[in-house]
Amino acid sequence: MKFLSHLMAIALICAAPITIAQQSPLNVVSKPSAAPTQKEPVITDLGWMDNNRMEQETTKVNELAQTKTGTPLRRDLTDLDTLQRIINNELVEVDDHETQQALGVVLGNVMLADFPTTFEWKVYEDDLGRSRAICVKHTSSCLFPVTMLSRRMEVGTKPDVKKIYDEAILLMQKHLPKLPYDGGIMYKLPRN
């Protein structure tokens, strides 16, 4: 008889509805829910504090670049080489997330300089939180350069800055200006 009651209990447990734990891309489990719901992203202009912080981050990377590599930031494609030297020479500690994200701001500034009529810095808020993003004007299509380098660096890898830049731009290709006669993407910054 006890065996049957245990068997019935197991059957009831197995038949009970299972709730799904919602996971974020960061593999952080949020509270369980029967049906995952996602908040629509809200994209707003940068505030004064965001602009000020980004300027400080850019200044911090510029000072690091000048003192350790002898090269100032120029807000052009040479900044990608400067970022790569900073990474390759391990001038930023693995656990220095603040400086790693500052490198991402510089990466985003190069994107903006390359496509000034297409991209703009915005604040992107969703279920995962608040981020600074490079967004295509008047759309919700955004890139997140602030974390493109830091997420790789914090696990001890040395990201290929030019490859990350090129892949990010290709993700936005349908929004970018085109050269006439199907000549590809029309970049503003000169290519060598």
Interacting residues of 143 by C-beta distance below 8 A, sequence separation 6+: 108, 111, 119, 133, 134, 135, 168, 171, 172
Q: Which residues on adjacent β-strands are paired with residue 131?
A: 124
Tell me whether residue 144 is in a domain.
Answer: yes
Tell me whether residue 10 is in a domain.
Answer: no
Q: How many domains does the chain have?
A: 1
Tell me whether residue 27 is in a domain.
Answer: no
Tell me whether residue 67 is in a domain.
Answer: yes
Rounded Cα distance between 15 and 13, Å, is 5
pTM here is: 0.80
Domain extent, residue 168, equals 42-175
The CATH number given to whatever domain includes residue 130 is 1.20.120.1090
Average pLDDT of the residues in 49-78: 98
pLDDT in tens, 76-97: 999 999 999 999 999 999 999 9
Residue 176 is predicted with a pLDDT of 96
Residue 36 is predicted with a pLDDT of 62
- Say if residue 135's pLDDT is above 60: yes
Tell me whether residue 1 is in a domain.
Answer: no
Tell me whether residue 161 is in a domain.
Answer: yes
Region for residue 186 given its phi and psi (left: phi exceeds 0; alpha: psi -120 to 50; beta: otherwise): beta
Nearest CA to 28 among 133, 176, 127, 140? 127
Contact 154, 42 (CB under 8 A): no
